[in-house]
Amino acid sequence: MRSLTILGATGSIGASTLDLVRRNRDAFRVVALTGHSNVAVLAALAREFAAEIAVIGDEALLPDLRAALAGSGIASAGGAGALIEAARRPADLTVAAIVGCAGLAPTMAAIEQGRTVALANKEALVSAGGVMTRAVAQHGTTLLPVDSEHNAIFQCLAGNDVAHVRWITLTASGGPFRDWPIERLAHATPAEAVRHPNWSMGAKISVDSATMMNKGLEFIEAWHLFPVGVERLRIIVHPQSIIHSMVEYRDGTTLAQLGPSDMRVPIASALAWPARMATPCEPLDLATIGTLTFRAPDEERFPATRLAREATLAGGAAAAVMNAANEVAVAAFLSGQIGFTQIVQCCEDVLACGLPSPPQSLEEVIAVDHEARVRAREGLELVI
Ligand code: NAD
Ligand code: MG
């Protein structure tokens, strides 16, 4: 039996992870579960899985969480510091599934324990970059990618030397607007943007998929996880989301990972690694799927991948700045304050303001993130 903590247990990745745990109750003991504001769901999950502790990110909700857990014997805590404390509790495996840079400090705390971290929280790696990968190396942590593309690449690289890699190709569904004419994009609504054709996900990553910033963030994520160099990383649009990514070797062999568009597949791969566990997902029926198609990304309509590539080449604080601006802009879009095409424009504008010096520590990454958020809010003329 392995002990398990889930940071962001109340979200989409958290739910998929707990669905697998529910089907394998004998394999896992739950240490900590965290959520941000959904007290009822967090308390119910903590009770169902007999967690040691439940932590709510919004400290003002701690009394409600205490009340909801009364008589259960489950400890409770609240606030950003408590999330970090929870991540420090000994656990064989931590699933980092908080959305955004809010998950960075708890994810780093888990990494510093030197065990295994299954990373879904891509924004944390994009922002912290070398600070995080150095901590992984320093503490001897096993970092397992949960993002479906990176999990696919991880599997396709197994047993091979990255020196033999010719290309790593990230596949992209293209999102809900992949066939929209450029003029229509400015009028896209939040409801349309979160309606992803293939995947059911949290609101933020759904908007990122619509702008293609998700693929931009994943490009940077891949650059950190798989050291093949920026010129060996590329993106291809594959609307069916059956091939989750691929690796081409110098002998001309391409290895690809295929599977249903269900995050329980990559999550199961990380939970059971290096073994395998069963999932309830339907087997892949290629005869019914019939056709797999591919096309080059259109960076005129979706400039986010170009911006991410430029941020990777710029290095230093660029990725953290871009990510922070994107988080502010996506939240503003979701709350109806800005238009769809302003999201990536905001990232470009904030990057054009000039970059702070490269962050060397977690505190410096958080400071860069904070400053870029202020700039993004000013640039978008947001009230808060
Ligand atoms: P979600 O919005 O469904 O859930 C996010 C979780 O983070 C929730 O538990 C929420 O309570 C918590 N959270 C939000 N703000 C917080 C804060 N300020 N402090 C503490 N906790 C906070 O998001 P999701 O779709 O599950 O995505 C989680 C992460 O996984 C993201 O980084 C996303 O990019 C990545 N990811 C998701 C999918 C997917 O299919 N959903 C796929 C690949 C990668
Ligand atoms: Mg992905």
Atom of ligand 1 nearest to the CA of 10: 9
- What is the pLDDT at residue 260? 96
Domain boundaries along the sequence of the chain: 2-145, 150-299, 315-384
What are the b/e assignments for 344-368, b being 16+ CB within 10 Å?
bbbbebbbeeebbebbeebebbbeb
**In terms of pTM, does the model score above 0.95?**
yes
| Fold matches, 2-145 and 315-384 | no
Percent of the chain with pLDDT over 90: 98
- What is the pLDDT at residue 198? 85
Residues 95, 5: contact at Cβ < 8 Å? Answer: yes
CATH classification of 315-384, choosing from 1.10.1740.110, 1.10.1740.10, 2.40.50.140, 1.10.3720.10? Answer: 1.10.1740.10
Atom of ligand 1 nearest to the CA of 199: 40
pLDDT above 90 for 116: yes
State whether the beta carbon of 14 lies less than 6 angstroms from ligand 1.
yes
| pLDDT tens profile 327-340 | 999 999 999 999 99
pLDDT above 90 for 314: yes
Q: CA–CA distance from 53 to each of 15, 50, 73, 86, 366 (Å)?
A: 17, 9, 9, 8, 26
Task: Note the ligand closest to the C-alpha atom of 152.
Answer: 2
Atom 7 in ligand 1: residue holding the nearest Cα? 98
Angle at alpha carbon of residue 199, lines to 197 and 202, rounded to 5°: 115
State whether the beta carbon of 35 lies less than 6 angstroms from ligand 1.
yes
- What is the pLDDT at residue 382? 86
Sheet-wide strand order for 2-7 = 75-78, 53-56, 28-35, 2-7, 93-96, 116-119, 142-145
Question: Which secondary structure element, helix H or strand E, spans residue 314, and what is its range?
Answer: helix 304-314
State whether the beta carbon of 202 lies less than 6 angstroms from ligand 1.
yes
Contacts of residue 231, defined as CB under 8 A and 6 or more positions apart, other chains included, come to none
- To the nearest 10°, report the CA torsion of 209, 213, 219, 223: -130
- Alpha helical stretches, state H, 141-282: 148-157, 182-185, 190-193, 203-211, 213-225, 264-272
Given CATH 3.40.50.720, say whether it is the number of domain 2-145: yes
Distance 152 CA to ligand 2 centre (A): 10
pLDDT confidence tier of residue 347, bands split at 50, 70 and 90: very high
Residues 42, 69: contact at Cβ < 8 Å? Answer: no
Burial of 152 (0-12, 13-18, 19+ CB in 10 A): buried
What residues have a C-beta under 5 A from ligand 2, the ion?
147-149
Helix (H, G, I), strand (E, B) or coil at 52: coil
Distance in Å from the first CA to the final CA of the chain:
46
- The chain-wide mean pLDDT, for the chain, equals 97
* List of E strands, the chain: 2-7, 28-35, 53-56, 75-78, 93-96, 116-119, 142-145, 165-172, 233-237, 243-249, 254-258
- What is the pLDDT at residue 196? 85
- Both tokens of 274, joined, read 């290096």
Distance 146 CA to ligand 2 centre (A): 8
| pLDDT tens profile 249-307 | 999 999 999 999 999 999 999 999 999 999 999 999 999 999 999 999 999 999 999 99
pLDDT above 70 for 384: no
